[in-house]
Structure 1
C-alpha cells in the first residue's frame, strides 16, 4: 500500500458522551478511529442520567457564561444548545423544552439516543473495544491491562471524572505518573449535604420539600430538596455546591413567597393554638418542614417569622465524591493548549469531565462533554493527518 493512501489513526480512550463525540468528529474528519473502554458496555453514566429524563441541554440565554471558564465557554459557543438539539434530531431523537428551560428528548431516556449513535459510529467504520482497560504509556505506545500495545497517530483521552465508580468513572487515570502532576484534586459537585440528624427525624426520611429557598451567603436559590438518612439531597442544593464545599453555612427559607411581616400576620390570629397547628393552618407547612424547625431551632421562640425565613441548618459538608453527579478538578487548563492537547505529550488530547471545570445542573454537563469531544476529535484528526503526511 502506498503511504499516501494510508488514513490517520486516532485512538479514543473512554466511551462516554465526550469520547463518543470525539470519535464521531475524528471519523468525520477522515481518521480511522478505534474506541477503547474498560466497561463491558459504553456510556453507562449517560444511561443512568436517562433514567431521570436525560436533561441534555438548556435554553438559558447566557448558557456558555454559566461555566465560569472562558476556554470551555468558547467551545460551547461553537457547539451549544441549538447545535446539540440539531445533532440529536439527526439521530432521530427530537427534543422539547421544559417549563424551566431544560431540554429533554421526547423519548425521556438515553437508550434510543445511544443505540442510534452507536449505529452511526459503526456505519462510518469506528471500532469499539470493550473491557479494554488503558494503563498508560510505555514510551510512545499506549498500553492496556491485557498486554495490548498500540501506536496511533493521535489519542483522545475521555476517561471521565471520579464519581459513580460503578459506572466507569473511577478517576484512576489521575494517578498515572505522566498525568498526576497536571491534575487539580477532584472534589464533589452537584451532590447531597451531610447532616447528622437526631432520632426524631427518621420518620421524615424520603420527604420532599418543594419550592424551598436555599440560602448560602448572600445568594438564594429556590428548588426541591429531599430529607434522607444521609442528610439533604436534591437539585435545590446543587447551585450552592462550590460554596458549601468551602464550608459556607446553609439556611432554609421555608416560605419564600411570604415576607416576615406576612408570616406574623397569618400566625397572630392562631396564637392560642399549638405551634404545630399554627404552622399547619396559617402557613401550610407540612410535617417535614415543622420537624426541621424543631430539629434546628428548639426551643422555638415566640416570633417564628425570622426562623421560617432563615432557618440555620448545621451540616458536616458535602457527601463523598463517589456519590456526586459530577466532579470539580481534573486536568488543569494550563496543561492544555487551545486544541485540548496536552502540552507535555503532543498528539494526546483530553475531553469531558477529565478537564478541570464545574458544571451547573440543568444540561450544562452533557453539553460541555459533547462540545469538548467534538473540539478535540477534530483537532486529533488534523494532528494525525499531519503525522501521516510528514512521517
Structure 2
C-alpha cells in the first residue's frame, strides 16, 4: 500500500465525492488557499448531476424562504441552519458567478438560462483546475486508517493519503450506476457510526394494472389530475399536477410529491390507497349535472366524451378502477370520478429512485458537520439522513451542506493552527 503525504505547507484537504456538495466545497476551499484533492469512484465528476439536468436543470425554487424550508418537513430543524446561510438566492448568485444566469419558470422552479448541466459542470471543473484542485477519479474510498487518513482502491492498488481535513460527500443509494451506491455505509457502521436505513424517495409505486390496461396505456401521462390521501398521522395530502402510467404502476412529479408519506404508509400497513380526481376543474355537482344529460343509446364511453370531454386515459382509468355498479348512476359516477381509489402495493426499488431517505444520522455530527468520532472529518450532501421533494430542494440542500462543511473546515483548520 502506498502512502501519499502532502507536498507543501498549504493546508491539504481531501474531498471524497465529486457531486454537488463536494464540488462546491472544492471551490470554496481552493479559493481560500487550501490545497484540495478531489476524489470520485467514477471516471469523471458529477455523473448524477448530469442526469438531473436532462430536460432542464432545476437548481432550486423561488418559494418564500419559510415555505421553502417547510419542504424539508421533519428534517427542517437540522437543515435550516445551513439553508439560512446558503439558500436559494445564494445558490443563484454562485451559479451566476460561474457565468450562468438563472430564471424562474411558471411553476416557481429555478433553472439556468443555459439548460445544459454539462456546461455548468464544465465551467466549474475549469475553475477548480485553475484554482489548483487535483483530481483523482476511479478511486473508491475503502476505509480509514487509525489516524483518520482515507484509503482508496483503484484497480488492485490501494493508496492512503494524509490530509489536514477530509470532507465526505459520498451520496445516497439511488442511481448506483452513477456512483451513488452507498458502499460507504458498511464502512461507517464498522467504525460505530450510526446510520438510518436507506429507503427510496421521490419514487414510483407498484400497482396491479390489468394486462389490457398495461399494454395499452403504459407511458401515458395523466394531467391535470389531483390526488388525495391521509398520511399515518391523519393529515390530508391534496395536490394537483400530473403523473405517468408505467407498466408497473405510477410515477412522476405528482406521485413523487407524496412519496415520502406513501412509502411510510406501505411500510406500516402493507399498502396505501390514493384517491384520484380525474376532473379537478369541476365540482361533483357540476359533473353530476353534465352526466345527467340525456344519454340515449350512446355508450358510456361516448357519453363521457360528449359531456365531460373524457377520452383515452381518463376513460380507461374509470373502467380500470371503478366497479360496474357505479357507472350507470350519474350521481355515483360523479362522486367516483372525483375520488377514484388506486391501491399502491409497494415502492419501486431504491436503485430506481430519484433520491433516498436515510443515511448518516445528524447526531453523529457536531453543528459544523464534523464527525464526533473522527475529528477533522466532515460530511455533507445526500449521504446525510434527510429527504426532500423534487423541485430544486434536493440540489439546494446538497450545495448548502457542502458550503457549510467547507466553511467549517476552514474554521477548524484555523483553530488547529
Q: TM-score, normalised by structure 1?
A: 0.95
Match of 1:33 in 2: 36
- Do the aligned partners of 2:193 and 2:364 also contact (CA within 8 Å) in 1? no
Report deviation, 1:28.
2.5
Q: Does 1:73 align with 2:80?
A: yes
Match of 2:89 in 1: 82
Query: 2: distance between equivalents of 1:308 and 1:180?
Result: 53
Query: 2: distance between equivalents of 1:286 and 1:77?
Result: 47
Query: 2: distance between equivalents of 1:129 and 1:270?
Result: 73
Alignment map for 1:117-196 (pairs within 5 Å): 117-140=124-147, 141-145=149-153, 146-176=157-187, 177-178=189-190, 181-196=193-208
Q: What 5-or-longer segments of structure 2 have no aligned partner?
A: 1-5, 231-235, 267-271
Report deviation, 1:86.
0.9
| 2:50 maps to which of 25, 37, 47 | 47
Match of 1:216 in 2: 229
Secondary structure at the residue paired with 1:60? coil
Query: 1: distance between equivalents of 2:42 and 2:119?
Result: 20
Q: TM-score, normalised by structure 2?
A: 0.89
Report deviation, 1:271.
3.2
Query: 1: distance between equivalents of 2:205 and 2:111?
Result: 27
Measured against aligned partners, the alpha-carbon deviations of 1:299-345 in whole angstroms (never above 9, x if no partner) come to 24122011100100012121110111111101111111110011111
Secondary structure at the residue paired with 2:71? helix
Report deviation, 1:178.
4.1
Q: What 5-or-longer segments of structure 1 have no aligned partner?
A: none
Q: Does 1:290 align with 2:315?
A: yes
Report deviation, 1:173.
0.8
Measured against aligned partners, the alpha-carbon deviations of 1:137-182 in whole angstroms (never above 9, x if no partner) come to 1212211112100121111000000000111100111111446641
- Do the aligned partners of 1:216 and 1:243 also contact (CA within 8 Å) in 2? no
Query: 2: distance between equivalents of 1:169 and 1:7?
Result: 31
Report deviation, 1:70.
1.3
Alignment map for 1:239-318 (pairs within 5 Å): 239-246=257-264, 247=266, 248-272=272-296, 273-301=298-326, 302=329, 303-318=332-347
Match of 1:323 in 2: 352
Q: CA RMSD in A?
A: 1.5
Report deviation, 1:282.
1.2
Query: 2: distance between equivalents of 1:65 and 1:251?
Result: 24
